[in-house]
Amino acid sequence: MRIATTVAEARAAVAQWKSEGLRIGLVPTMGFLHEGHESLMQAAAEENDRVAVSVFVNPTQFGPGEDLDRYPQDFERDLAICRKNGVGLVFHPTAGEMYPPPFYSAVRVDVLSAGLCGKSRPTHFEGVCTVVCKLLNIISADRAYFGEKDAQQLAVVRRMVLDLNLPVEVRGCPIVREADGLAKSSRNAYLSPEERQAALVLCRSLREARALADAGERDSSRIMERISGLIASEALARIDYVEIVDAVSLQPVARLEGPVLIALAVFFGKTRLIDNARISLP
């Protein structure tokens, strides 16, 4: 497994693979890897000849006062996980390598970035798009893998790739959960035992929403009220948003028709967690 810390090293490794006609899958991450990330590596390994993983805590996708300074990191452990999954290249640049000053450019995807997480994190998706675009230009992968856990990010990246004709196929992978249902996240490491227990209200309310839809409920506001009530009854939870949106346009829908996304962002103490469920109705 090669470890590249500079753009030039990463490009050289990729160029060699390309010269051998090998297909490359890229898994962009911020590190502190868990089984969610591993599922992306495994999907990439199944569909490509070589897997590249980037481990980069991207400063431009954090807003002021967010957790950039305390974001969990353990690069040695990340390397062991990558090795175990047969990864061929780990790209681990510094912020200076990715954003050499003066850095004046950015990639922005309007409309899709505005709602949901974009409301409380107005600069987040511009940071995500800029870094993903750069990573794809550095590691010219055939396919890039993203988790459905970050459903808005996946929709925004898909749009960017289409709009900008980036020569890569975007693949979405299902949410990986803990045994008790909590979606795996590097940020779960922040939770106290009490907050960890309280956070189960996320998957519980998504299960409840699914049950209501299965029972024939089609009114979005009634489902949102039920979910909000459930979350509000959890003393340690503070709602950022509860929304039901069209799964492709990410625009709010009054009724459950076609594929919709039930999306949640909730604070437990200082930790903001997101989760979602995709429901496809005829």
Under 8 Å between Cβ of 144 and 120: no
* Shorter beta-carbon distance to ligand AMP: residue 92 or 149: 149
**262: Cα separation from own chain's centroid:** 16
Please identify which residue in 89, 117, 160, 175 interacts with ligand AMP, judged by CB under 6 A. 175
The pattern of x and - marking residues 13 through 32 that bind ligand AMP according to CB under 6 A reads ----------------xx--
C-alpha 216/C-alpha 214 separation (Å) is 5
Residues with catalytic roles: 37
Please identify which residue in 173, 209, 230, 273 interacts with ligand AMP, judged by CB under 6 A. 173
C-alpha 66/C-alpha 159 separation (Å) is 26
Helices (H), 22-171: 35-47, 75-84, 95-98, 117-120, 124-138, 151-163
Binding part of the chain for ligand AMP, among 2-10, 63-71, 113-121, 141-149 by CB under 6 A, reads: 141-149
Neighbours of 272 (CB within 10 A): 18
Residue type, 166: L
127 touching ligand AMP, by CB under 6 A: no
* Shorter beta-carbon distance to ligand AMP: residue 175 or 231: 175
What would the two tokens of residue 230 be? Answer: 């459930």
Neighbours of 2 (CB within 10 A): 14
176 touching ligand AMP, by CB under 6 A: yes
Per CB under 6 A, which of residues 32..51 are in contact with ligand AMP?
Answer: 36-37, 39-40
Q: Which residue is nearest to ligand AMP (CB)?
A: 147
Residue type, 47: E
C-alpha 223/C-alpha 39 separation (Å) is 31
The pattern of x and - marking residues 178 through 217 that bind ligand AMP according to CB under 6 A reads -----xxxx-------------------------------
Residue ranges in contact with ligand AMP by CB under 6 A: 29-30, 36-37, 39-40, 146-147, 149-150, 173, 175-176, 183-186
